[in-house]
Amino acid sequence: MILILAPINDVHALSVQSSVARTTNEDCAILDVADYPTKWRLSLNIGSSYQYHVDADDIQITSPDIGGIWRRRITSPFVDSKVLDTEVRLFAQNESRDFLSGFINHVDNVINNEAAESASGKKTLQLKVAREVGLRIPDTLISNDPDKILEFYEKYAGDVIFKTLTPTRFQFAETRMLEREHLEFLPSAVFCPTIYQELIHAKHHFRITIVDNEMFPAIIEPTKDYARLDWRLDHDPIIKCASLTADVEEKLIRLMRSLNLRFSAIDMIQDEQGQYVFLEANPAGQFLFVEIATGQPISESIAKSLCVRS
């Protein structure tokens, strides 16, 4: 049994579930953590043996059925509304999260390890490790110091971009140029750190999906001028299969191993001189749009990795 933790309508989860059914002999179930503990049950007995039981509607899983878990999209457990006290609800939610996390960590085949994914999701660590394995990165300043930001802006004569460290829930936060008119707002920078990087003019944008040691590189070409810094703004870019140099591939594998990741969607650019530049890694990144555009069998690769039993 392969278990995918994600909302039941998550298209990536559904694609991998379909690939498991098509290419392996394993069953595959999708469970939403938001439905736990209200809608499904989990029991674990640790004594002379290690036994578990999952009961969710028509899904029954008993030890040692689970051969692999994909932590596709983990949401917060939802405590039944019958628990009225706010503090008690929070306690029950934390207990549920802690138990579920501990259970997942006892399964040998998990994509990705929770602690590794949490740590590697931090852009500061990604950039540090990328530099250590020999990948080129943009000169980067992360700061809430207006003086240091102005100094960085002047160092590159205004050729500086800025972006957030984490996604925002209230609006889409794309990569932007730091324009001179933005400088009048620098005093407010003290309220929140931001990433500032030298502008590197991109010849090509790369999205490189890695599953274990299998690599699926694709070039994304924005068709809109306003998407030249952030291809996500273009809803209809040109996406095609690509290749990387052996040197870059080797460094990316070393990056994945250093971050202890089995899956990640990595963003890089190739500058006008042909050099590859690492931008960021997305340990829970989207890949289906690349698979659809290029035909690369990413879902199948994840399915096979989940079905490898130790």
Q: Where are the alpha helices (DSSP H) in 28-113?
A: 86-105
Nearest to 62, CA basis, from 133, 1, 136, 5: 1
Task: Decide: residue 81, CB within 10 A, 0-12 exposed, 13-18 middle, 19+ buried.
Answer: exposed
pLDDT at residue 232, as a whole number = 86
Quickly name the fold that domain 118-136+200-283 has. D-amino Acid Aminotransferase; Chain A, domain 1 (3.30.470)
d(CA 216, CA 293): 12
Please name which of 103, 53, 59 lies closest in space to residue 77, comparing C-alpha atoms. 103
Q: Supply the pLDDT for residue 233.
A: 86
* Residue 144 exposure: Cα atoms within 13 Å on the Cβ side: 7
Nearest to 198 by CA among 243, 153, 260, 135: 153
- Distance between CA atoms of 152 and 275, rounded to whole angstroms? 23
Q: Are 4 and 64 in contact (CB under 8 A)?
A: no
* Positions of E strands within the chain: 2-5, 28-31, 41-46, 50-56, 59-62, 68-70, 110-111, 140-143, 160-163, 176-177, 194-198, 202-211, 214-221, 238-241, 263-271, 276-282
- Residues 248 and 88: their CA atoms lie apart, in Å, by 51
For 124-133, how does the pLDDT look when each residue is reduced to its tens digit (9 = 90+)? 999 999 999 9
Write down the pLDDT at residue 310.
57
pLDDT given for residue 166 in this prediction: 84
DSSP code of residue 218? E
Q: HEC states along 138-173?
A: CCEEEECCHHHHHHHHHHCCCCEEEECCCCCCCCCC
Peptide bond into 222 cis (omega under 30): no
pLDDT for 309 equals 66
Q: What is the pLDDT of residue 168?
A: 77
Ranges of the chain with pLDDT below 70: 309-310
- Ranges of each domain in the chain: 2-112, 118-136+200-283, 140-196
CB 99 within 8 A of CB 40: no
Q: Would you call the peptide bond into 94 cis, given omega within 30 degrees of 0 as the criterion? A: no
Look at the block and give the residue holding tokens 């274990």: 212
The per-residue b/e assignment along 53-69, b for 16 or more CB within 10 angstroms, e otherwise, is ebebeeeebeeebbbbb
